[in-house]
Amino acid sequence: MDLNIKVNDKDHLDIGGADAVDIANEFGTPVYAIDENRIRDNYNRFYNAFSKYYPDFKVFYACKANTNLAVMKILESEGCCVDTVSPGEVYISEKLGFSPDRILFTGNNITNEELKMVHDMGVILNVDSRSALKRLAEVVDPKGLKVSIRVNPMVGAGHHEHTITGGVMSKFGIMDNEATEVYKLAQDLGFDPIGIHSHIGSGILDPEPFKLAIGSTMDIAGKVHDDLGIDFEFVDFGGGIGVPYTPDEKALDIDHFAHENVEFFKGKLKEYNMKNPTMFLEPGRYIVADAVTLLVQVNSVKQSYRKYIGVDAGFNTLLRPCMYGSYHHIVDASKMSAPITQEVDVAGDVCESGDLFARDRPLPDIEEGDILGILNSGAYGFTMASNYNSRPLPAEVLIKDGNPTLVRKAQTFDDLFRNQIIPDYLQ
Ligand code: PLP
């Protein structure tokens, strides 16, 4: 199986050389446990695969997947760049030491104030619409300002309908057939449009849609190049590269994937007689998903009409199973080699029937007090957590060479009061 699972000599789940049960005992549950070396390995495997075939290549980590400051610092230290979707993400990135030229902003439906704010922070914008382009020209001086345009390559894919970001049902980007007009508008407004961006969706393990999207984005870029003589400084094909979540899913052969796509890309550059632009990719999930395990504790085992394993976290802590019906592999970190004996539901502590981490999941005999590891929780895990049911957000722990360090304290009940104001007349 291609899941990132290691077991230590106590038959416990190993996370980056640390014992998952010890982490749970020391820091409490629920807790997100982050394996630093795995993040570094994922980044380097990805970067090396593409740069080997196309050296003028940059990775912009899509930090919406995981904005833990330590995670971003790790990637900063590796030389990675960052893709952001809100002024807050730009702010965090700059504070952590990413220089503006290492940051892209790919927001959508943003206000004039936000457009000006991210421009003033010095980052390059992937502009999502004619409206944003015109409004940007109103709030900043467009003369010679480098911008990139997000196009809809009319290819979409993803692990769930909500994560598909290309095609006729997508709100993102400009239409493929209006590209020349919009690039011309950018020029007429005084901008220097030097980039093109597309992103087709998230959680894609099938290589085919990527190839189609590269082809169609390059056909759009080639036409704009022919029509307007624009020499693109960069071409950005977004992120979306999937990772295995179930035991039967196979990881992409990233070297082969890179080779195929780069060759295809080079062919398109030749076809349209384009100079060699820098190639950008924006993986989020690929870098962080399998580097993080959510550790939870079993607090009740209940036989009702079905058997429920009740744990001390819910969709307020990890939303993906409830929001997308996503599968997350679950292991009993306390006894990794115990045989599978039952099919049970793993339920959270949120007061909603949909609060389930798994239905009919084959698991060993599980006792109250056991620590479960919910794997692949690093992407869209903590970043989508909430205070629903007035539950404080959990802690995050970073493991480096077997040593765990607290990198985010769990919230306290007092945090639930923060920023709320009870009017005097209600006191
Ligand atoms: N780039 C953009 C513009 C995105 O919206 C996203 C997420 O959907 C990504 C990159 C990263 O996607 P993933 O985490 O699937 O690689």
CA of 397 to the centre of ligand 1 (A): 24
Catalytic residue among 63, 80, 322, 351: 351
Q: Looking at 136-282, which runs of residues are DSSP E strands?
A: 146-150, 192-197, 234-236, 278-281
Q: How many CB atoms lie within 10 A of CB 402?
A: 13
Distance CA 308, CA 359 (A): 9
Distance CA 120, CA 136 (A): 11
CA of 202 to the centre of ligand 1 (A): 6
User: Tens of pLDDT along 165-182?
Assistant: 988 898 999 999 999 999
Mutate which of 42, 50, 83 for ligand 1 pocket (most atoms within 8 A of beta carbon): 83
CA of 291 to the centre of ligand 1 (A): 17
Question: Which residues make Cβ contacts (< 8 Å) with residue 220, sequence separation at least 6?
Answer: 151, 153, 176, 179, 196
Mutate which of 148, 199, 290, 376 for ligand 1 pocket (most atoms within 8 A of beta carbon): 199
pLDDT of the chain, 427 residues: tens digit per residue: 899 899 999 999 999 999 999 999 999 999 999 999 999 999 999 999 999 999 999 999 999 999 999 999 999 999 999 999 999 999 999 999 999 999 999 999 999 999 999 999 999 999 999 999 999 999 999 999 999 999 999 888 898 889 989 888 989 999 999 999 999 999 999 999 999 999 999 999 999 999 999 999 999 999 999 999 999 999 999 999 999 999 999 999 999 999 999 999 999 999 999 999 999 999 999 999 999 999 999 999 999 999 999 999 999 999 999 999 999 999 999 999 999 999 999 999 999 999 999 999 999 999 999 999 999 999 999 999 999 999 999 999 999 999 999 999 999 999 999 999 999 999 9
> SS in 3 state form for 315-341?
CCCCCHHHHHCCCCCEEECCCCCCCCC
Confidence at residue 156, expressed as pLDDT on a 0 to 100 scale: 87
CATH architecture of the domain covering 6-35+289-417: Beta Barrel (2.40)
Was domain 36-284 assigned CATH 3.40.50.1000? Answer: no
Distance CA 258, CA 51 (A): 9
User: Tens of pLDDT along 5-46?
Assistant: 999 999 999 999 999 999 999 999 999 999 999 999 999 999
Can 80 be counted among the known catalytic residues?
no
Q: For the chain, what are the domain ranges?
A: 6-35+289-417, 36-284
Bond preceding residue 30 cis, omega within 30 of 0? yes
pTM for the full predicted model: 0.97
Is the sign of the CA dihedral 158, 282, 393, 15 positive or negative? positive
CA of 236 to the centre of ligand 1 (A): 12
Confidence at residue 269, expressed as pLDDT on a 0 to 100 scale: 98
For residue 336, report the phi and psi dihedrals to the nearest 5 degrees.
-65, -30
User: Tens of pLDDT along 321-332?
Assistant: 999 999 999 999
Count of helix runs (H) and strand runs (E) in the chain: 11, 20
For residue 224, report the phi and psi dihedrals to the nearest 5 degrees.
-65, -40
Within 6 Å (CB) of ligand 1, which residues are found?
62, 64-65, 83, 106, 199, 202-203, 238-241, 282-286, 379
Ligand 1, atom 10, lies closest to the CA of 239
Q: Counting atoms of ligand 1 from 1, which one is nearest the CA of 286?
A: 16
Distance CA 236, CA 335 (A): 45
What percent helix, strand, coil does the chain show, rounded to 5? 35, 25, 40
